[in-house]
Amino acid sequence: MIRSTAVLVVLLADMALPAGSARGEDAAGRQPKPITFGVEAVASIATDDPGYFNDTSYGRSAMRLARVRLDVALRLGGRASILAEGRADNGEGVTVAALYLRLRPFPEHSFDVQAGRIPPVFGAVARRTYGVDNPLIGTPLVYQYLTSLRSNSLPASADDLLGMRGRGWRTRYTIGSTAWDRGLPVIAGDRWDTGVEVRIGREPVSVTAALTQGTLSDPVVRDDNDGKQLSGRVEVRPALGLILGASLSRGEYVSREAGRVLTAAPRGQSYRQEAAGFDLEYSRGYWLVRSETVVSRWDIPQVQRPLLTDRLGSWGTFIEARYKIRPGLYTAARGDHVGFSRVSGTLYGGLPTTWDAPVTRAEVGAGYSFRRNLLLKIAVQRNWRTGVAFGARESVAGAQVLFWF
């Protein structure tokens, strides 16, 4: 499948390139290399995380990860290129995380089209693909923390949902698959979606839009529900060191497996995830400050009593800061929270209760560059999960080494 996709991308690029296309020389008049490679190796170790606070949608811990990543860029003349990313995680074999064709039909203008398994449009964190871009080891909760909601297994009632509250690492429901499995994060920051993306402009304003197979919480390679997601982002750079971004998305998240069971449900309709996000980055002198807030809502079926009468909502926000103490040495901190809307059932005394357990994290750490491309990080987390007995709070300490060229 991967090999045939790559061949198809090459053929499409050859068809798209006119004869005698621009040479694409750089400012010094040198011909760019036709193929370039980049390698990043990451090794992270950490203390136990029995509350699964750092588990990701790939079923791995963000604090315990050994990853080798290979980036490849193949130029096809002056107006097109193929970009790919391969990953080998924890010795489990190589996967293709990205594979897409980028067309620049007007090289003199800031306009490009990308098709395939494409970079994310929504938000800022998932667009920072390199480990060195993260001053700490953990991932912001809204991009990583597993909620109790799934795409292929849905709750039939409010009690069904509340019974899995705070159990996103292993959950199941009565509609669709009844197997135990991981829940969805608000945004799956470790996975890219498949589709077509258009970008216009660069500075001071850029606009990006994409049509993809999956959703923010569940990117896919193959369509699993006959639905699509539309997402967009506007980025503004009004002053030196300041970046402001706003994002929107809407897509169908319920898989075909669960959707077949819902055909006779009272709300015979599409079930969507909708999200809005706002992000900020400001750098000055030795300081770098970033913040992001994401609000998301999921449609949910009304099947059995007590009914889930409203959409399920969540909101997540974080703020992080990095300060350079001296060349090669910095310290950093992040405050993080994800909250959820309330539903009413017969559990929890019949009182309105958040449909999942709110979670908060504080993480502090430091990094030291032994050389330009070798970085050591250390970090300590404190995690809190509200309103549940299991895994209510814990601390995790870790270290990470990054090497790239």
The pLDDT assigned to 339 comes to 97
144 and 190 in contact (C-beta within 8 Å)?
yes
Residue 12 has a pLDDT of 36
Three-state SS for 389? coil
pLDDT at 263: 60
Strand (E) or helix (H) holding 142: none
Q: Rounded distance, CA 215 to CA 15, Å?
A: 30
SS (H, E, C) 16-46: HCCCCCCCCCCCCCCCCCCEEEEEEEEEEEE
- H helix count then E strand count, the chain: 3, 20
Give the separation between CA 274 and CA 256, rounded to whole angstroms. Answer: 19
Taken as a whole, the chain contains a residue count of 405
- Rounded to whole angstroms, the Cα distance separating 271 from 141 reads 24
Q: How far apart are CA 316 and CA 321, in angstroms?
A: 17
pLDDT at 7: 35
Quickly tell me which residue has 């992000």 as its tokens.
279
Alpha-carbon span 52 to 177, nearest angstrom:
22
Measured CA to CA, the distance from residue 22 to residue 35 in angstroms comes to 17
Domains and CATH numbers, the chain: 108-404 (2.40.160.10)
pLDDT of residue 195: 97
Is the Cα dihedral 85, 279, 255, 224 positive or negative?
negative
Which parts of the chain register pLDDT below 70? 1-31, 263-269
Q: Are 357 and 163 in contact (CB under 8 A)?
A: no
Give φ, ψ of 258 to 5 degrees: -80, -30
CB atoms within 10 A of CB 133: 9
Is-contact 4 38, C-beta < 8 A? no
On whether the CB atoms of residues 57 and 188 are closer than 8 A, the answer is yes
- Global confidence as pTM: 0.88
Query: Residue 29 forms beta bridges with which residues?
Result: none
| 139 secondary structure, DSSP code | P
At 31 the pLDDT is 67
